[in-house]
Amino acid sequence: MKTWENLFEESDFIQDLSDLLAIPSIKQSNPKEGMTFGEDIQKALSFMLAKGEEEGLLTYQHDGLYGYIEFGPKEAKDYIAVLCHVDVVPASGKWTNPPFEPYVENNRIYARGAIDDKGPTMAAWYALKLLIKSEYPIKHRIRLIIGTNEESGMNCMKSYVANEPEALFGFAPDAQFPIIHAEKGQINLELSCKPKYAKDTINLESFQAGTRGNMVPDIASAVIKGKFTQEQLQRINQLEQIHEDVSMEQTDEHSFTIRTVGVSAHGMEPFKGQNAAFSLASILLSLEELQFHPYLTFIQTYLKNDFYGQNLGIDFEDNIAGKLTVNAGILHYDLEKGGTIQLNIRCPIETPYEKTIDQLKALADQKGWFISNQRSTQPHYVHAEHDGIKALQVAYEKVTNNKATLLSTGGATYARFLTNGVAFGAVFPGKTNTAHQVDEYAELDDLKKATLIYAEALYRLANI
């Protein structure tokens, strides 16, 4: 009898994955005409669709937003969706090797996107190839859907659901095993304040940290200006000696640039990183002339290391998805324009959205701040007894011999765009998820095991 493992071609898998990882598919701000999110993302999308065409499968691309590879009986009414993405977050921080020059070491493949989400995407594609090779009968079509904008708005999937029929069931290989059937919702908003200028003293000229709301900033910098006395110069110069993560540069006789370094992490788990903006704000507040600066004191009082919104007055927890979390992802201050802080708040299934937003507005009003660019997404939840979930549980348990428990996540995956969609792998229990981190990697043995699980799952789902 054919087995998934006997059909798996490991060397081909590693080569295809390496080729995909070498494409720096980060969203571009000014893309060429016809390339919605940039030339490199388009290249990654085309790379995957070409793989489907090589196998003689139906492929389709919609305005550079999404594409899909389809297999199965053409007359089948229903289809099973596998929701992948080929865009990646920027590769900030100091990498051991260039982030888009993938390499294998200690049975791990290193590159930006290795686990989020190119490794799992390739595992899903090879799982489909295994199913094709097996010649096992299926009654539903299978669509491997390739998104291009998962990391910065998910407009690709918004377009997909507006233009394509609903899937019978689907999964996104873009989180953890066993099965995530509940995803937190989100509240994203921007807090802003007016600038503060003080004559004849030190002023905060600028403050900058973060590039994405869903990442913990690992670098922060600020410029302070003034007519420094000798005493002030001495105190400022001592900062670099007192704090290990600080570097400074005196750009001219009236300006200092101060930088701090933290640890990046995914915005859904801000407690796993070290927000460089928090340490920079604390360091600046240690200067007597800045100790009451409204922008810095707000960061220190309401955000620093308060990952669950207690100081903001919005902490909440339920039995399905756990605690609400808060990430301060992008922070910017300008002496002429004022300051902004972009918050990414992950909300459990039963979060009282209106009450949460009202509390934030009340706090902003109290402190003379303003709220803008507010947007919300609701939580997503699929009942544990759904036939699709049962099929995934059988597949996972058959390959791993471990219990397929149901989980929740603070992450937002494509699964929420399906009525009956869940996140399914590819990080195994007890393993480190290096998504959005420096030296991101995926374990090759785990990607192979995920491929076998996905092949079994696709076979079972395509016959429910």
* Domain boundaries of the chain, sorted by first residue: 4-184+380-461, 186-377
Residue 290 to residue 282: CA distance in whole angstroms: 10
Q: Which of 40, 117, 150, 440 is catalytic?
A: 150
439 is catalytic: no
φ, ψ at 332 (rounded to 5°):
-150, 135
Residue 454 to residue 450: CA distance in whole angstroms: 6
Q: Which of 87, 151, 205, 456 is catalytic?
A: 87
Rg of the Cα atoms in the chain: 24
Strand partners, 204: 224
**Sequence-ordered strand ranges (E) for 210-358:** 219-225, 246-252, 255-261, 317-318, 322-323, 325-334, 338-347
What CATH number does domain 4-184+380-461 carry, 3.40.718.10, 3.40.190.10, 3.40.630.10, 3.30.930.10? 3.40.630.10
According to the model, what pLDDT value does residue 1 have? 45
Q: Is residue 240 exposed (0-12), middle (13-18) or buried (19+ Cβ within 10 Å)?
A: middle
The distance of Cα 24 from the centroid of its chain, to the nearest Å, equals 16
Residue 277 to residue 299: CA distance in whole angstroms: 8
Residue 94 to residue 113: CA distance in whole angstroms: 16
Q: Angle 456-79-321 (CA atoms, 0-180°, nearest 5)? A: 70
According to the model, what pLDDT value does residue 89 have? 94
150 is catalytic: yes
Decide the pairing of beta strands 108-110 and 441-443: antiparallel
Q: Which residues of the chain have pLDDT under 70?
A: 1-2
According to the model, what pLDDT value does residue 2 have? 66
* Topology annotation, domain 186-377: Alpha-Beta Plaits (3.30.70)
pTM over cut 0.85: no
